[in-house]
Structure formats: C-alpha cells, structure tokens
Amino acid sequence: MPYVTADDGAQIFYKDWGSGGTPVLFSHGWPLNADAWEAAALFLAEHGHRAIAHDRRGHGRSSQTWHGNEMDTYADDLACLINHLDLRDLTLVGHSTGGGEVVRYLGRHGSARVARAVLVGAVPPLMVRTDDNPDGLPIETFDAIRAGEATNRSQLYRDLADGPFFGHNRKQDVPQGFRDAFWLQSMACGHRAAYECIAAFSATDFRSDLAKIDRPVLVIHGDDDQIVPFEVGGKRSAALIDGAVLKVYEGSGHALPDTDRDRLHADLLAFIGA
C-alpha cells in the first residue's frame, strides 16, 4: 500500500487511481478516511482523471500520532503528499473537515500547484460561536460530541449515522450500507485523533485563509445540513471567497458524497472541465 512520510515521520496512506488526466485530490470528513470518497474517485478516474485520496493522520491506515491532530499539521501533511506526487494543475476537493484541510492548505502553502478547489459541506469559515462569530454553533454542541467520543465512541458513531450525518432522522430511505460504512470507517480512526479533531474542525478560524484564495472555488452545501448548517458553513464561505460559485442542494443533508452521488459527480466533472 502506498504511503508518504510526513515531516515528523508519520506515515500517510493514500490511493492513486487512474492514469494521466487532470489530478484531483480528495480530503475526507471526520472521523472517516479515504474510503469515504471511493465512489467519486472511481467516477472521475473512469472519466479520464487521476483521482487521489488519503487517510488523514490518525485516521484509517495512516499513523496514529499523539501530536499533530490539528489543521496546520493536516495541511502540512497534504503538502507533503502533493509535493511527493509532484501534482500540478490540481483540483482539491474537501468534504466537511476535509474542506477545512483544503482551505488551510491554500492559506498556508499557497496555490502554485492548484488550479481550483471544491468545498462540500465544509466546516469553514468557523463553526463555533465566539464574540466575533455570533452566528456559530454553541460550544456545548461540540462538548457533547467530545463527551460521546470519550465515553462510548462506538455508540456516538452509530447515533450520528442513524441521525444527523446522513439526515436519516428526516429521510428514512438512507441505505443501511451507507450508515454501516460510516461506523466502520469511524472505528478505524484513532481515539486520540478523533477526540482532538473535534476541536480542529469546530474551533479553527479559516477566515484569513479564505481571503487568500486566488483560484476558482465551487462551494456545494445542502440546505438541510444538520452537522455544518448551511448558514454557518457554505453560505458564509462563498461570501468570503472572491468569485466563488455557490450551489445549494435543496433538501439535502451533510453526507453529500453518499446521498447525492450522481449530482455531485456531475458537478465535479463539469467544474474540473470548465
């Protein structure tokens, strides 16, 4: 299995599918791994693109490091992978926490190798409510997730899968297989990594990173997202990125790579080829 070695020696697992074509690199949500993007990666690889997806440190098959479970290190790991594969004219696609990883990479490492980016149900600009972010979610929301992670994380993941992550509590037609895959991937995440990543996705302020983006950006968000509400995430990010295109999936929730596959794949293909 292919790995790249990060600056601190951590081993970052990645998949590299397809041959030739425009490279597309997928960043996954919490507490999942590269498998969450398999359907989109397969679709784009079959349509002539090179599709790459990695397991964030602490997640899946990558090293479960004690340190580095925060956005700066996630972005640096992403830079190691991009440089290792010498990717250019690159499309970055990030879902949820992965969208934060993409935005922090662009803010921290620049866009010399990047042609465009897609944010899908992404956590920027800032999820938690603060004095200068009054429309964010209360800290108690994330404290409850931390408590679930600390006391019975297996049950936490089942509750998320059967409830707000897929919107199964509102749409009773979300397949069991999607929910089982979420639980399986989540349990492969290291306990410390999963716990610390809650702060990374909720309390990292991406506003200055968004202001630095100088490449075309497509923002996709469901207007019934119960994890990253549209008003907190996609709507505000699109307003802060110069020239961003916003696509709202009406009635859709957070897990768009699964629940809205056909539409998302078509939108990705069209945006990459534009």
Q: What is the pLDDT of residue 1?
A: 75
Of the pLDDT bands very low, low, confident and very high (cuts 50, 70, 90), residue 173 is confident
Residue tagged active-site, from 225, 258, 260, 267: 225
pLDDT tens track for 195-249: 999 999 999 999 999 999 999 999 999 999 999 999 999 999 999 999 999 999 9
Which helix or strand (DSSP H or E) is residue 117 part of? strand 114-120
Residue tagged active-site, from 62, 254, 258, 260: 254
Strand partners, 263: none
Assess whether 225 carries a catalytic annotation. yes
The mean pLDDT value of the chain amounts to: 97
**In the chain, what percentage of residues exceed pLDDT 90?**
97
- Domains of the chain plus CATH, in order, are 3-273 (3.40.50.1820)
pLDDT tens track for 90-104: 999 999 999 999 999
Question: Span 151-175, mean pLDDT?
Answer: 93
Strand order in the sheet with 50-54: 3-5, 11-17, 50-54, 23-27, 90-95, 114-120, 217-222, 245-249
Residue tagged active-site, from 27, 63, 96, 186: 96
**Residue 57 to residue 65: CA distance in whole angstroms:** 7
